[in-house]
Amino acid sequence: MVSRRQTSSRTRRGGSSARRGAKSASAATAQAVRPGQVGGRYKPLSDADIERIYQTALDVLENIGIGDPISEILEYALPGGCTVDDDNRLRFPRSLVEDLIAKSPQQYPLYAPNPDRDLMVRGEEVLFCTSGEAVCILDYESQRYRPTKLVDLYDAARLGDQLDHIHNFGQPFIAAEYSHDIFVHDMNIAYAELAGTDKSFALGISIAYHIDPLIELFDTYLGQEGGFAKRPFCTFGGCPIVSPLRFGQDGAEVMVKVAELGMVADVAVAPQAGATAPAALAGALVQCFAETLACLCVVNLVRPGTPINFGMWPFISDLRTGSFSGGSGEEALVTAATAQLCNHFGFTTSVGAGMTDAKTMDAQAGYEKAITIATAALSGANLVAAYPGIVGSLVAQSFEGMVIDNDLIGNVQRVLRGVEVTDATLSYDVIKETVYGQGHFLGSAQTLELMNSEYLYPELADRRTPGEWGEMGRKTLYEQAHERVGKMLADHYPGYIDPDADKRLRDRFPIRLEPEEMQPGNGRW
């Protein structure tokens, strides 16, 4: 087996890294980190391990198959070469799977409402996004859990809009107050994200026939029928698999619909080791890989060459209780293995990370988020759904956590960038001049030049002396984050939807986010 990526990326990446190193050493205005830093350095699997996982996954698809195929899938799969057995399980011949892998694109553009924020998903370049669809929020005022509201999502989008290290805004929670009316819910979460950020964003959609009205909503915003299709700045996602090895009707219908439209198929396949997947980590990887490969096959049977966000998300159980554990070392390990496995085949991938089991942003949250986010990035996952702000094993979202995790993600990006070795950065002449001159480097031209291009400075982490910290009120990181959230949300009402577009949207769709909630003086901040 030969990786699709092995033959195309390594030499090119090395050359570009060298050029970036030379450039950063001479450009005083360069930034220390950027979206799309290259990962792939951490590889928990050997090539032989990857081959065995791959071949076993092909055996699973060919001999066990995926149960409960919906009619929309059978319409494409049976003429394409799949078969259905007597147990209503859809089987994928290994030759067909290998052919469809070869047809799957290795990159796609991630459009944003603001073209200046467009990105590419490709290679081993790493981007970070929010995610979660939590049902609760750690309330800013009371600091207690409560159900999420639509206005919370708007505020989260405004906050994410200002956080430099969050590149894509995936829906962090639902609007629980509208969970009884899914159409109103879906239209309004789309509106709230569109109003709050001009970064690319994603929606979790459970009903396929809501996709057309959502596209109409975006066209209405643009004032141009078909405008969204030219630059789809929102991806629609769902969970098409019910583990172990069955299609879930609602998520599968969404996947087929998105593929028919030729948009990025954003899928998340999340079996839980020890519960809905084998407890053996290798077995969990086999099953999750097979399930996600089935989605890739369906997407490319529906419309060959349709890009897929290969969301292979193996989760972990605490086997003492059977409960989900998002912050474990095992979760960090299987996530990194997932990214390595997918990179081997050139898939555009997403993984889940930062899913702390802590109930608030405490030391447990810090170390669990750090180990899972860092390993996911170092392994080269394309979209790291870092769950910034998520707490309570995906139950709740914290605004304070979002700004703390933004700091964490920035530092992870700096690690990804690595040490750039050039004639200039080796610094022989600088060392010689300093030794025979001032005797220190604090005032050297190189130090001043590299102050911002070589070093990243956290927004929140406190680097003052203990004495200075005491004089400034002895505030904890969380207290500083609390104050920062209040300031950021009091001032940032971006107005991304102009009045004419807003009127068109409110005339056509049941928008529940009131205009007075989208301007200063609303009483929330």
| Widest pairwise Cα distance in the chain | 84
Q: Report the Cα 506 to chain-centroid distance in Å.
A: 30
Among residues 248, 236, 309, the alpha carbon closest in space to that of 276 is found at 248
Phi (first) and psi of residue 311, to 5 degrees: -85, 80
Phi (first) and psi of residue 351, to 5 degrees: -140, 155
Q: Look at residue 134 and give its three-state secondary structure.
A: strand
Decide: 392 and 353 in contact? Cβ < 8 Å: no
In a domain, 496, yes or no: no
Concatenate the DSSP letters of all residues of 418-479 into one string. -----HHHH-HHHHHHHHTTTSSSTT-HHHHHHTTTT----SS---S-HHHHHHTT---HHH
Among residues 145, 110, 137, the alpha carbon closest in space to that of 125 is found at 110
* CA distance linking residue 66 with residue 90, whole number of Å: 5
In angstroms, the first-to-last Cα distance of the chain is 57
Owning domain of residue 301: 107-417
Task: Say what the pLDDT of residue 1 is.
Answer: 53
Decide: 124 and 40 in contact? Cβ < 8 Å: yes
* CA distance linking residue 283 with residue 299, whole number of Å: 25
In a domain, 51, yes or no: no
Supply 118's token pair: 């467009």
Decide: 206 and 174 in contact? Cβ < 8 Å: no
Task: Say what the pLDDT of residue 30 is.
Answer: 73
Crossing angle of the two packed helices 249-261 and 211-222, in degrees rounded to 10: 40
In a domain, 49, yes or no: no
In a domain, 467, yes or no: no
Supply 283's token pair: 């077995």
Concatenate the DSSP letters of all residues of 12-60 into one string. HHHHHHHHHHHHHHH-TT--S--TTEE------S-HHHHHHHHHHHHHI
Concatenate the DSSP letters of all residues of 62-126 into one string. III-EES--HHHHHHHHHHT-EE-TTSEEE--HHHHHHHHHHS-SEEEE--SSGGG-EEEETTEE
* CA distance linking residue 219 with residue 233, whole number of Å: 11
In a domain, 269, yes or no: yes
Task: Say what the pLDDT of residue 6 is.
Answer: 47
* CA distance linking residue 394 with residue 389, whole number of Å: 10
Task: Name residue 201's beta-bridge partners.
Answer: 169, 234
Task: Name residue 328's beta-bridge partners.
Answer: none
> Among positive and negative, which fits the CA dihedral 338, 298, 108, 118?
negative
| Preceding peptide of 244 cis, ω within 30° | yes
* CA distance linking residue 514 with residue 154, whole number of Å: 11
CATH number for 364: 3.20.20.480
Supply 418's token pair: 């690595």
Supply 50's token pair: 């990857």
Q: Look at residue 265 and give its three-state secondary structure.
A: strand
Supply 362's token pair: 């405490």
What are the per-10-residue average pLDDT scores of the chain (525 residues)? 47 37 43 88 96 98 98 98 96 98 96 97 96 94 97 98 97 95 97 98 95 98 97 96 98 98 96 97 98 98 96 95 93 97 96 96 97 97 95 96 97 95 96 94 93 92 93 95 97 96 98 96 92
Amino acid identity, position 442? L
Q: What is the DSSP pairing of strand 145-147 with strand 136-138?
A: antiparallel
Task: Say what the pLDDT of residue 98 is.
Answer: 98
Phi (first) and psi of residue 513, to 5 degrees: -80, 110
* CA distance linking residue 249 with residue 245, whole number of Å: 13
Task: Say what the pLDDT of residue 14 is.
Answer: 38
> Among positive and negative, which fits the CA dihedral 363, 364, 367, 372?
negative
Number of domains in the chain: 1
In a domain, 178, yes or no: yes
Task: Say what the pLDDT of residue 4 is.
Answer: 60
In a domain, 519, yes or no: no
Decide: 127 and 383 in contact? Cβ < 8 Å: yes
Q: Look at residue 310 and give its three-state secondary structure.
A: strand
Q: What is the DSSP pairing of strand 390-391 with strand 396-397?
A: antiparallel
CB atoms within 10 A of CB 519: 9
Concatenate the DSSP letters of all residues of 379-406 into one string. TT-SEEE--TTEETTTTEE-HHHHHHHH
Q: What is the DSSP pairing of strand 396-397 with strand 136-138?
A: parallel
In a domain, 48, yes or no: no
Find all residues with CB under 8 Å of 499, minimum gap 6, and list them.
none
- Whole-structure pTM value: 0.92
